[in-house]
Amino acid sequence: MPSPDQAAWNLGPVPLRAYALAIILGIVVAIWLGNKRYVARGGTPGLITDIALWAVPFGIVGGRIYHVLSDWQIYFGPDGRGFVAALRIWDGGLGIWGAVAVGGLGAWIAARRHHVALPPIADAIAPGIALAQAIGRWGNWFNQELFGRPTDVPWALQIDEAKRPAGYEEFATFHPTFLYESLWLVGVAVVVIWADRRFTMGHGRVFALYVLLYVTGRGWIEALRIDPVNTVGGLRLNVWTSILVGIGALVYLVWSARTRPGREELTPADSDADTQAGSPEDSNPTSR
């Protein structure tokens, strides 16, 4: 499997970077699917787009912060790239856990402003997030980064010598972990949509299922990667994060199913005029 010979194209003075385009396309797909699912549940059309105006920028900032903190030596260690490089998101490097956590904070703020509950929004957008990640992973292909151990399987990924990590210069082909994760995430989206329809899930359980399924795949895919990262107890930091987040998602799934079975009902949100007028039913966030 060949790698692209370039990761950016110049449109006059403006560079079009494949990594950025992949992320933007993923965001568009996530918002489209999230809107469709939220409206199907009885929610207000366009609300997911309004939520995304807060969640997306928060998520990008959070994803970059997580990446820089978890791989700080790349930027601030000996021979590090420096502070300016830490800001160059287009060169690659967004940590999903930071993106979800800080993006979730942005979504919560937006939900409060619109007087709606966050769990139904999270459930609606969950499979879209999985698809956005699946699309975004192709940016790693263009950047020739985050690949796995050397291999000669038929689908092995060719990596330019200049892009190979120290100690692996003699190897030409590697596991395409970006492809493994992309395919896994498409499967996660399909399973989550099926499970939501089959079991009528609600109260944030759809989102928790997405998280649980994702970390299950991320764990074994992460174990294949050879890019230098920080480790704890011999395991890569992202593996530990996947374990802890996965346990939390599983606990929430079980607890929520027992204490809040079924799905909350949504009704279209009141108009902006009603909200600004401070109608009694809008005084607190509710499930709509």
Query: 59-93: per-residue pLDDT in tens?
Result: 988 888 888 877 777 787 777 777 777 777 766 67
Locate the domains of the chain by residue range. Answer: 15-261
Q: Which helix (H) or strand (E) holds 8?
A: strand 8-11
Contact predicate 118/108, CB 8 Å: yes
What is the per-residue pLDDT for 78?
75
Contact predicate 129/189, CB 8 Å: no
* Residue % of the chain over a pLDDT of 70: 91
Of 253 and 237, the one with more pLDDT: 253
Amino acid at 264: E
Burial of 224 (0-12, 13-18, 19+ CB in 10 A): middle
Q: Which helix (H) or strand (E) holds 25?
A: helix 18-40
What is the per-residue pLDDT for 268?
56
Q: What is the pTM of this model?
A: 0.85
Give bridge partners of residue 225 from the DSSP assignment.
Answer: 148
Residues 152-199 pLDDT 10s = 999 999 999 999 988 999 999 999 999 999 999 999 999 999 999 999
When the pLDDT of each residue in the chain is averaged and rounded to a whole number, the result is 87
